[in-house]
């Protein structure tokens, strides 16, 4: 499994295309308090239910608040046969906010 930092994800966001997805696996409450523009929310405990749909993307960047739930969700998705998963396992929305990077609600 490829693991990148939230800083690396930030550097990639501007160049992302339709084949890329940022999957935020925090709770709906956390997501609604601020998330990366264009991100999709699905709780880490329910990602297996959308695995088939996620196969249509070139790359799915999975992130959370700090990295723990992203790692669990990424392992679940890889276990479901996905090969397009990149885990944002070093930092997450907490660091994104600390850096003052833009979010939407």
User: How confident is the model at residue 69, as a pLDDT?
Assistant: 98
Q: What is the pLDDT of residues 64-90, one digit of tens each?
A: 999 999 999 999 999 999 999 999 998
Q: What is the pLDDT of residues 26-75, one digit of tens each?
A: 999 999 999 999 999 999 999 999 999 999 999 999 999 999 999 999 99
Q: Is residue 6 part of a domain?
A: yes
Q: How far is CA 43 from CA 13, 17, 86, 94, 100, in A?
A: 21, 23, 16, 17, 24
Q: Is residue 103 part of a domain?
A: no
Q: Is residue 74 part of a domain?
A: yes
CATH number at residue 61: 3.40.250.10
Domain that holds residue 42: 2-98
User: How confident is the model at residue 8, as a pLDDT?
Assistant: 97
- Transcribe 14-74 into DSSP letters: TT--TTEEEEE-S-HHHHHT-B-TT-EE--TTTGGGGHHHHTTSSEEEEE-SSSHHHHHHH
Q: Is residue 104 part of a domain?
A: no
**How many domains are there within the chain?**
1
pLDDT over 90 (residue 1): no
Whole-prediction pTM value? Answer: 0.96
């Amino acid at each position: 499994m490829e693991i990148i930092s939230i800083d690396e994800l930030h550097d990639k966001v501007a160049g992302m295309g339709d084949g890329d997805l940022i999957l935020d696996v925090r709770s709906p409450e956390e997501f609604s308090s601020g998330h990366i523009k264009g991100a999709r929310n699905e709780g880490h405990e329910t990602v297996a239910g959308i695995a088939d749909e996620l196969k249509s993307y070139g790359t799915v960047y999975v992130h959370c608040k700090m990295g723990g739930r992203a790692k669990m969700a990424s392992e679940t998705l890889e276990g479901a046969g996905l090969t397009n998963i990149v885990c944002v396992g070093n930092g997450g929305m907490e660091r994104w906010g600390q850096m003052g990077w833009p979010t939407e609600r």
